[in-house]
Amino acid sequence: MPVVALHDLTKHFGPRTAVESVSLSVEPGEIFGLMGPNGAGKSTLIKMLTTLLPPTSGQAHVAGYNVAQQSMAVQRRIGYVPQALSVDGTLTGYENMLILAKLYNVPRRQRLERIKAALHYVGLEAVAQRLVNTYSGGMIRRLEIAQATLHYPPVLFLDEPTVGLDPVARKSMWELIHQLRRDHNTTVVLTTHFMDEADVLCDRLAILYHGQMVTLGTPAALKAATPQPNATLDDVFIHFTQDQSAIEGDGSYGDTSTTRRTAQRLG
């Protein structure tokens, strides 16, 4: 049974359609990628699945619950790392985790051990008492994943998880995502602009363009469906989006601002 299921999911902002009739499913333990130019609807789709935005029409179920009608049940069963920074730099790593433990209603008797275990898992136990504003970008992303998985959610949503990270930190993040799947069978739904990242991480990919899903499949199948011999995911992306994003400047000022601000904070 799919752990994430969408049927004709649609989101309008006034006259503008951000996501149009997207239908797909994600299996338990799958790492599923959403790709597309800025403004294609990836983040809007993630926000609907994490209950931050109500759908205009259509349906979506996450971990067996309707995102519009059973939002609290969905929230208890997901983790979410947004593109923008979601930790407080004036607090220590431990203090950030403690706040999340309280929000997730982790029993008081279990909090210390649960926090220590989560920080150890992401390799931050030794710096738990340091202020987060002294952390590197990679360390901050690891802390955010520790926060998002503190309550052992079956589904983890990651919006551009490696934006602003150097190559070493990016590969370290890839290893952590694979480790979560190996150790806990965590289902991961992520957005990314990096073709190498999608190739390494994702079991399947959906490419969005102007709010519509234009193709879906495994990286190997998508490459095989591209006319160019020995195609790469870059070729797949260009083939299915016709590379209009580079010509049209696809994506709003807000999209660009958020991406650059996140990269600056993590860099």
The domain ranges of the chain are 4-266
pLDDT at 228: 87
Among the listed residues 203, 201, 204, the one whose alpha carbon sits nearest the alpha carbon of residue 216 = 204
- Distance CA(260)–CA(254), nearest Å, equals 10
How are strands ordered across the β-sheet holding 204-209? Answer: 78-81, 155-159, 187-191, 31-35, 204-209, 212-217
How would you classify the pairing of strands 155-159 and 78-81?
parallel
pLDDT at 1: 87
Structure tokens at 114: 């649960």
- Distance CA(118)–CA(92), nearest Å, equals 15
Q: Could you count the other beta carbons within 10 Å of the beta carbon of residue 28? A: 14
**What is the residue-averaged pLDDT of the chain?**
90
Residue 45 has pLDDT above 50, yes or no: yes
pLDDT at 39: 87
Q: Which helix (H) or strand (E) holds 11?
A: strand 4-13
Query: What does pTM read for this prediction?
Result: 0.88
Q: What is the pLDDT of residues 168-214, one digit of tens each?
A: 888 999 999 999 999 999 999 999 989 999 999 999 999 999 999 99
How are strands ordered across the β-sheet holding 65-66? Answer: 16-26, 4-13, 57-62, 65-66
Report the top-level CATH class of 4-266.
Answer: alpha beta
pLDDT at 165: 87
pLDDT at 53: 96
Residue 33 has pLDDT above 70, yes or no: yes
- Distance CA(210)–CA(208), nearest Å, equals 7
Residue 259 has pLDDT above 80, yes or no: no
CB-CB contact of 61 with 38 (8 Å): no
Structure tokens at 247: 């010509």
- Distance CA(201)–CA(187), nearest Å, equals 12
Q: What is the pLDDT of residues 89-142, one digit of tens each?
A: 999 999 999 999 999 889 999 999 999 999 999 999 999 999 999 999 999 999
